[in-house]
Amino acid sequence: MRRMAIVLAAGQGKRMKSKLYKVLHSVCGKPMVGHVLDTVKNANCERNIVVVGHGAAAVKSYLGESAEYVLQEQQLGTGHAVKQAKSLIGNEEGTTVVICGDTPLVTSETLEALIQLHESKGAAATILTATLDNPKGYGRVIRDEDGSVLRIVEQKDCTPDEDAVQEINTGTYCFDNAKLFAALEQLNNNNAQQEYYLTDCIAILRNEGNMVQAYRTADPAESIGVNDRVALAEAERIMRERINLRHMIGGVTFIDPASTYIEAGVTIGSDTIIYPGTVLRGTTTIGTDCEIGPNTEISDSIIHDSATVKYSVLNQAEVGSNTTVGPYAYLRPGAKLGEHVKIGDFVEVKNASIDDGSKVSHLSYIGDAVVGKNVNIGCGAITVNYDGYNKSITEIEDDAFVGSNVNLIAPVKIGKGAYVVAGSTITDSVPENDMAIARQRQENKPGYAEKIRARAIEKKKQNEQK
């Protein structure tokens, strides 16, 4: 049977008090509507329609061609929103999931179970429910003796017996598509809000003699709809716990999961250790047997097997196997390290490749450079890559030695096996196996320091008299 999904993403979200459209607020690095769309796709929904309204352009820009779109120009209720999809799937046969774009914690496993129950029972509609210790504010699900749903009763309309029911409506549904759109045509807005409610379709279908089922999720967190920053933080916490749990089950060690922040798109190999204060973002990939952290932030980067990164920041960088980075290093976009490379404390690398076995141990800047194998770059050495208008490349070939406090003025090339003496400022290329020294011979002037001090004191007196 064909599966379809309608994602409701037209509401403004005033309680977020934000310039950013509600469903575009991120949970663990991904906008909420992105999580929801991934969920319905993973539940094998073939056509996925997103109902947009406020912020339509921004939602379309983010989701691109991954979904179809319909516009709800006026927000006249959830039933009215679903009805906008009639032009796309109103004549289709199959199963349609209706889900809100601000419910990022619903899982594809739960959605699959909901659909399977719906289809196996031949139901006209199936409601995703949850059991809450404190169901205040939620619509109660009232079941018949056979377990089918009689009705959904809103909190304000509950009798004392209904108010005691702890099973609530999460706002996620499964419908027979043809019966859904037939029921939508019968909706009216005879209510206090003068809106067309999707929940009224349940009563319409039941009154026509159709079966309505409910699937109760084992995880009440899936009922959370994010309407304000408090709920957003709660969703972030729950999803972070889920992500960390998934990695731990996969063989990753977390020293302190509560202080480790990993976004949804990150992958980590087994036997890697994640230390406290680590933040892994975007599409970061960590290999096996790595040590990451403590207090390390890595974004959209690749860390190969057996690498170590501690107290450092990496963004769009690549670290080879058995390479060490940090403490306190900064790898910027385009940094690419080979195997067995050492990047030490207070080293910054930008748009530069450093090949196998090379070392930049401390206090250096390597930018717009190509560094070969087994190169040693001393403390305080830098590539001077920018003249105020253009950036130029520095090349350092295999087995070269660059001493401390060397300035390499790009464009320049240091040949294979060449030796650059500490304190040199190199403006011309150094041929293979040559030694370059570019500093003035030291000259000591006896007693001259006293003359300098005397001049400084005299100048200070003159300034004070003025």
Conformation bin of residue 377: beta by default, left when phi > 0, alpha when psi is -120 to 50: beta
Per the residue annotation, which of 80, 247, 340, 362 is the catalytic one? Answer: 362
Exposure string for 441-458, b = 16+ CB within 10 A, e = fewer = eeeeeeeeeeeeeeeeee
| Token reading at 252 | 């990753």
Residue 376 annotated as lining a ligand binding site: yes
Residue 404 annotated as lining a ligand binding site: yes
Residue 295 annotated as lining a ligand binding site: no
Residue 134 annotated as lining a ligand binding site: no
- How far is the C-alpha of 119 from the C-alpha of 51, rounded, in Å? 25
Task: Using alpha carbons, list the distances in angstroms from residue 239 to 9, 236, 286.
Answer: 20, 5, 20
Close Cβ partners of 56 (under 8 Å, ≥ 6 residues apart):
10, 69, 71
Residue 65 annotated as lining a ligand binding site: no
Residue 342 annotated as lining a ligand binding site: no
Give the residue among 149, 157, 154, 110 at the shortest CA–CA distance from 135: 154
Close Cβ partners of 59 (under 8 Å, ≥ 6 residues apart):
9, 21, 23, 24, 33, 50, 52
CB 11 within 8 A of CB 22: yes
Residue 365 annotated as lining a ligand binding site: yes
Residue 11 annotated as lining a ligand binding site: yes
Residue 2 annotated as lining a ligand binding site: no
Residue 14 annotated as lining a ligand binding site: no
Residue 264 annotated as lining a ligand binding site: no
User: Where do the H-state alpha helices sit in 250-325?
Assistant: none
Residue 350 annotated as lining a ligand binding site: yes
Residue 78 annotated as lining a ligand binding site: yes
- The phi, psi pair for 32, rounded to 5°, reads -55, -45
| Token reading at 415 | 């040949």
CB atoms within 10 A of CB 195: 17
Which secondary structure element, helix H or strand E, spans residue 248, and what is its range? helix 229-249
Instruction: Reply yes or no on whether 247 is catalytic.
Output: no
Residue 8 annotated as lining a ligand binding site: yes
| Token reading at 201 | 């379709």
Residue 417 annotated as lining a ligand binding site: no
Burial class (CB in 10 A: 0-12, 13-18, 19+), 97: buried
Give the residue among 70, 29, 24 at the shortest CA–CA distance from 47: 70
Cα dihedral 333/337/342/345 (nearest 10): 0
Residue 215 annotated as lining a ligand binding site: no
- How far is the C-alpha of 96 from the C-alpha of 142, rounded, in Å? 23
- Binding-site positions for Mg(2+) read 102, 227
Catalytic residue list = 362
- Binding-site positions for UDP-N-acetyl-alpha-D-glucosamine read 8-11, 22, 72, 77-78, 139, 154, 169, 227, 332, 350, 365, 376
- Binding-site positions for acetyl-CoA read 385-386, 404, 422, 439
- Binding-site positions read 8-11, 22, 72, 77-78, 102, 139, 154, 169, 227, 332, 350, 365, 376, 385-386, 404, 422, 439
